[in-house]
């Protein structure tokens, strides 16, 4: 039905911050069926019809569809298609004209990842409790296995370290909130930990009581649960007051309600259910109605709440008097994860917020995916993103690196948190990739005794994680990673790894020029790089992520001046609070190529620099990583009026400076650099050991890094070539170079001690 009497469908243009119409013509589709998204109509209550038409066949229509995102329940034959959508009413009666037809092509051999339709999605789920982690049948089998062998799947460790300690701990009372309701990091952190521990207490005591048939444990779990259920859902632990606190209370109630369901009286059950329902409604409605993550998917906390909180709560609530609401929320979350997720990357597996927020977001996704799979059989892991995302930390933050990558990072300069390794083990179990298991084992080997650190314990109890993983997935044999280069196209990152399994030879180089700009936990770091080599971080991301919005975060760490990047006329890239401007301050990778004797990376950050310096007409950086040994970095800046360029390089230690050279020496390794070519003239090289414009309280007791500034004189055109050579202290290295600029080009020649030659050609102004 598409007569002219129907109102015309409104099809506004998609913006940077909104969902897009997908699939788009010429887009590479990575899975079958495609994921369909479109801009919704104004009416929140609208439903949709989706029409898919093969080039040589009859159209197939789906609907009514509740939201502007849809994954069909069956794969499609390969070939050419068009698709269109229209609004409809709840009965599926068309209410607008069809949208324009959009074309797409489905290649052969794509992974088949359909999503069961709503009516079938949970039809085979066992609605008895418990449902989270183990269902009744698996619980019975687990109990028998533990009775026969107390060490089964790490039960003995979990019981000793994660169950019994909560028997004697006083039950937590409702938090008082912030002094004068002004958020302060110490109160935020302590309450965060307290509520995480309340979740541990309820979940672990309830599991312990169920597995051991221990009434004392069960009763103690009930005491904790009923105390949390008595708190005001809209009070000091509400989502609006501090969402991270609310998430933890919600999870504690969900696990307690599920695992203690049979041990609660009807009145107690009603109390807990009422509290859980009210809190889940608040979080779900915020994500769906206020944040509208199906339209604006770049809200880090609202997106995280889908996996962290809403899914486990809804699984626990299904079948009760909240069934209609909980089922709608759960369907929304499943459809979001199957269609939109991850908004921070694409099928290559990258995560635009960086490796630390990959660790966090993926850890919660893993929990939700495992809960969904065990409860309903729905398997998210078949999607290409999840098959590939282990490559992101593997290539962008090796287990022995600390500051040699991008994004906010709560480890404060320590090694990758152990949850990074445990996430990698999960993907090893899912994919069979032994390199992911190697990463996990190396990560755990390098991090002994850190389980209680805030950035670990404040989010996860690894004893429970260990036990849950071993009940669900096989151990995969570790194999050393092969190394090489990975280009994460969707996020504009390139990770290079050489000899990762050998600390004496390992080099990591990470380059970024991202279409996500500086939105969320990304920074103003387009065309920046980080370098670690031979077991030591060398060219680092400077500063500490002490708290979001702190002076360290706002004035330093988010800003371009804390990166191994350039400033133009003393300015970097927009990195403030306006999300639209942050998303517009973008970069792009023009090339990322693996050649026989070098890796070549070419980034364009023109738009990022134009965000603060509109006179800039070009800001590009080329990187040559030659023979897994040294780097040649070429910066190209053009402007409509003369501009200075500050070439920045951050390190843990102070430099030895020359007129056109510099050297930095660490504990195990060092690097030196030389200015090989500058079309605008020689630089003035200085160094500063400080975090300018940062409150010293933000880094009290923490080391202060040093940054080098090579300032080039004002010109409308800059061509700067810099040599960067890392080396082990016991094996110093020299790379020799000379310049031939007699013709229209400047030919830069480099040679090592074995007389391996490499040439970089720069076009001179006379030849443009």
Lookup: tokens for 532: 């670690």
Q: Are residues 543 and 634 in the same domain?
A: yes
CB crowding 671-694: b at 16 or more within 10 Å, else e: bbbbbbbbbbeebebebeeebeeb
Residue 553 placed within a domain: yes
* Cα dihedral 572, 577, 583, 584 in deg (nearest 10): -50
Chain-centroid distance of CA 441 in Å reads 21
**Residue 26 clears pLDDT 90, i.e. is over it:** no
Closest CA to 727 of 460, 535, 512, 529: 535
Q: Are residues 151 and 108 in the same domain?
A: no
Residue 432 placed within a domain: no
Residue 505 placed within a domain: no
β-bridge mates for residue 720, sequence order: 635, 678
Q: Are residues 48 and 151 in the same domain?
A: no
Per DSSP, 697 falls in state G
The per-type count for the chain, helices as H runs and strands as E runs, is 21, 24
pLDDT in tens, 29-76: 999 999 999 999 999 889 999 999 999 999 999 999 999 999 999 999
Task: For helices 243-259 and 215-229, give the axis angle rounded to 10 degrees.
Answer: 140
Q: Are residues 143 and 111 in the same domain?
A: no
pLDDT in tens, 180-238: 999 888 899 999 999 999 999 999 999 999 999 999 999 999 999 999 999 999 999 99
Predicted confidence at residue 2, as pLDDT, reads 46
**Residue 270 clears pLDDT 80, i.e. is over it:** yes
Of 236, 269, 292, the last residue of a domain is: 292
Q: Are residues 288 and 171 in the same domain?
A: yes
What are phi and psi for residue 115, nearest 5 degrees?
A: -115, 125
Specify whether the backbone of 764 is left (phi greater than 0), alpha (psi in -120 to 50) or beta.
Answer: beta
Residue 343 placed within a domain: no
Q: Using CA atoms, how far apart are residues 457 and 445, in angstroms rounded to an integer? A: 18
The C-alpha R_g of the chain, in whole angstroms, comes to 28
Predicted confidence at residue 4, as pLDDT, reads 59
**454: confidence class by pLDDT, cuts 50, 70, 90:** confident
What end-to-end distance do the CA atoms of the chain give, in Å?
A: 59
Residue 640 neighbours by CB distance under 10 Å: 10
**Residue 320 clears pLDDT 80, i.e. is over it:** no
**Residue 135 clears pLDDT 60, i.e. is over it:** yes
pLDDT in tens, 620-633: 999 999 999 999 99
Predicted confidence at residue 768, as pLDDT, reads 41
Residue entry with tokens 């309820």:
202
Residue 435 placed within a domain: no
Task: For helices 462-472 and 355-376, give the axis angle rounded to 10 degrees.
Answer: 50
CATH of the domain at 708: 2.70.98.70
Of 292, 310, 326, the last residue of a domain is: 292
User: Is residue 723 within 8 Å of 737, Cβ to Cβ?
Assistant: yes
Q: Using CA atoms, how far apart are residues 158 and 164, in angstroms rounded to an integer? A: 9
Residue 499 placed within a domain: no
pLDDT in tens, 329-345: 999 999 999 999 999 99
- 179: exposed, middle or buried (Cβ count in 10 Å: 0-12, 13-18, 19+): exposed
Q: Which of 402-411, 442-451, 506-515 has the highest mean pLDDT?
A: 506-515
Q: Are residues 650 and 590 in the same domain?
A: yes
pLDDT in tens, 292-307: 999 999 999 999 999 9
Predicted confidence at residue 541, as pLDDT, reads 95
Q: Are residues 17 and 146 in the same domain?
A: no
CB crowding 585-607: b at 16 or more within 10 Å, else e: bbbbbeebeeeeebbbbbbbbbb
Q: Are residues 531 and 638 in the same domain?
A: yes
Residue 756 placed within a domain: no
Residue 34 placed within a domain: yes
CATH of the domain at 234: 1.50.10.100
Secondary structure element (H or E) that encloses residue 205, with its range = helix 185-212
CATH of the domain at 27: 2.60.40.10
**647: confidence class by pLDDT, cuts 50, 70, 90:** very high
Closest CA to 287 of 276, 277, 297, 279: 297
Indicate the pairing of strand 630-651 with strand 47-54: unpaired
Q: Using CA atoms, how far apart are residues 9 and 41, in angstroms rounded to an integer? A: 8
Closest CA to 213 of 280, 249, 263: 263
Q: Where are the beta strands (DSSP E) in 66-183?
A: 69-70, 79-88, 102-106
**Residue 117 clears pLDDT 80, i.e. is over it:** yes
Predicted confidence at residue 126, as pLDDT, reads 94
Q: Are residues 113 and 141 in the same domain?
A: no
Q: Are residues 573 and 623 in the same domain?
A: yes
Per DSSP, 7 falls in state P
Q: Are residues 102 and 183 in the same domain?
A: no
Predicted confidence at residue 1, as pLDDT, reads 45
Kindly report the pTM of this predicted structure: 0.95
> Average pLDDT of 351-359?
96
Residues of the domain holding 145? 136-292
Of 230, 259, 292, the last residue of a domain is: 292
Predicted confidence at residue 745, as pLDDT, reads 86
Lookup: tokens for 577: 């609070």
- Mean pLDDT for the chain? 95
- 75: exposed, middle or buried (Cβ count in 10 Å: 0-12, 13-18, 19+): middle
Closest CA to 49 of 3, 9, 103, 106: 9
User: Is residue 229 within 8 Å of 205, Cβ to Cβ?
Assistant: no
Q: Are residues 145 and 108 in the same domain?
A: no
**Residue 767 clears pLDDT 50, i.e. is over it:** no
> Average pLDDT of 389-416?
93
Return the percentage of the chain with pLDDT > 70, whole number. 99
Give me the number of domains the chain comprises: 3
pLDDT in tens, 676-718: 999 999 999 999 999 999 999 999 999 999 999 999 999 999 9
Q: Using CA atoms, how far apart are residues 458 and 194, in angstroms rounded to an integer? A: 9
User: Is residue 222 within 8 Å of 260, Cβ to Cβ?
Assistant: yes
């Amino acid at each position: 039905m598409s007569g002219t009497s129907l109102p015309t469908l409104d099809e506004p243009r998609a913006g940077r911050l909104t969902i897009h119409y997908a699939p788009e013509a010429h887009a590479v589709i990575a899975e079958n069926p495609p994921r369909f998204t479109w801009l919704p109509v104004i009416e929140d209550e609208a439903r949709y019809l989706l029409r898919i038409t093969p080039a040589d066949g009859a159209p197939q229509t789906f609907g009514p569809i509740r939201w502007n995102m849809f994954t069909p329940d069956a794969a499609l034959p390969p070939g050419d298609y068009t698709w269109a959508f229209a609004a409809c009413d709840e009965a599926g009666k068309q209410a607008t004209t069809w949208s324009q037809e959009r074309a797409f092509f489905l290649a052969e051999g794509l992974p088949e990842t359909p999503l069961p339709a709503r009516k079938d999605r949970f039809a085979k789920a066992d609605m008895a409790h418990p449902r989270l982690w183990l269902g009744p049948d698996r619980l019975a089998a687990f109990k028998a296995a533990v009775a026969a062998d107390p060490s089964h799947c790490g039960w003995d460790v979990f019981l000793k370290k994660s169950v019994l300690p909560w028997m004697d701990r006083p039950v937590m009372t409702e938090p008082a909130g912030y002094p004068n309701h002004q958020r302060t990091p110490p109160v935020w952190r302590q309450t965060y930990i307290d509520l995480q521990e309340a979740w541990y207490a309820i979940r672990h005591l309830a599991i312990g009581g169920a597995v051991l048939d221990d009434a004392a444990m069960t009763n103690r779990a009930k005491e904790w649960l009923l105390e949390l259920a008595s708190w005001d859902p809209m009070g000091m632990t509400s989502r609006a007051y501090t969402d991270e606190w609310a998430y933890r209370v919600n999870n504690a109630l969900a696990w307690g309600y599920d695992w203690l369901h049979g041990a609660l009286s009807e009145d107690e059950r009603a109390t807990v259910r009422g509290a859980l329902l009210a809190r889940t409604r608040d979080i779900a409605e915020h994500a769906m109605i206020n944040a509208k993550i199906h339209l604006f998917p770049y809200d880090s906390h609202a997106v995280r709440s889908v996996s962290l909180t809403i899914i486990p709560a809804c699984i626990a609530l299904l079948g009760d008097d909240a069934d209609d609401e909980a089922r709608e929320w759960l369907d929304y979350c499943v459809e979001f994860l199957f269609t939109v997720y991850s908004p921070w990357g694409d099928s290559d597996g990258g995560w635009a917020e960086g490796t630390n927020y990959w660790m966090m977001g993926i850890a919660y996704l893993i929990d939700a995916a495992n809960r969904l799979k065990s409860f309903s059989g729905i398997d998210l892991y078949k999607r290409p993103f999840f098959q590939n995302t282990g490559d992101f930390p593997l290539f962008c933050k090796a287990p022995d690196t600390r500051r040699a990558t991008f994004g906010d990072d709560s480890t404060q300069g320590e090694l990758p948190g152990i949850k990074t390794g445990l996430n990698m083990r999960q993907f090893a179990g899912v994919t069979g990739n032994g390199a992911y298991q190697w990463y996990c084992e190396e990560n755990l080997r390098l991090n002994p005794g850190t389980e209680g650190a805030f950035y670990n314990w404040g989010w996860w109890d690894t004893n429970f994680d260990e036990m849950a993983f071993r009940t669900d997935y096989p151990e995969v044999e570790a194999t050393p990673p092969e190394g090489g280069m990975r280009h994460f196209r969707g996020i504009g990152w390139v990770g290079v790894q050489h000899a990762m399994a050998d600390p004496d030879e390992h080099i990591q180089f990470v380059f970024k020029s991202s279409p996500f700009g500086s939105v969320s936990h990304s920074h103003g770091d387009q065309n920046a790089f980080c370098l670690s080599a031979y077991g030591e971080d060398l060219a680092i991301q400077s500063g500490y992520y002490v708290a979001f919005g702190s002076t360290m975060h706002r004035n330093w760490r988010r800003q371009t001046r804390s990166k191994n990047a350039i400033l133009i006329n003393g300015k970097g890239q927009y990195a403030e609070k306006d999300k639209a401007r942050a998303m517009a301050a973008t970069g792009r990778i023009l090339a990322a190529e693996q050649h026989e004797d070098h890796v070549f990376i070419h980034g364009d950050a023109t738009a990022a620099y134009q965000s603060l310096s509109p006179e800039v007409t070009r800001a590009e950086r080329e990187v040559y990583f030659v023979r897994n040994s040294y780097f040649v970095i070429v910066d190209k800046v053009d402007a409509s009026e003369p501009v200075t360029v500050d070439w920045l390089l951050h390190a843990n230690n102070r430099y030895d400076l020359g007129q056109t050279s510099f050297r930095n020496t660490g504990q195990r390794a060092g690097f030196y650099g030389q200015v090989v070519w500058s079309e605008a003239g020689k630089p003035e090289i200085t160094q500063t050991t400080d975090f300018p414009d940062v409150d010293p309280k933000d880094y009290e007791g923490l080391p202060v890094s040093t940054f080098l500034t090579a300032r080039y004189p004002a010109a409308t055109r800059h061509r700067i070539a810099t040599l960067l050579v890392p080396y082990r202290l016991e094996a110093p290295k020299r790379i020799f170079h000379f310049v031939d600029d007699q013709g229209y080009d400047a030919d830069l020649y480099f040679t090592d001690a074995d007389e391996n030659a490499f040439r970089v050609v720069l076009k001179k102004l006379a030849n443009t």
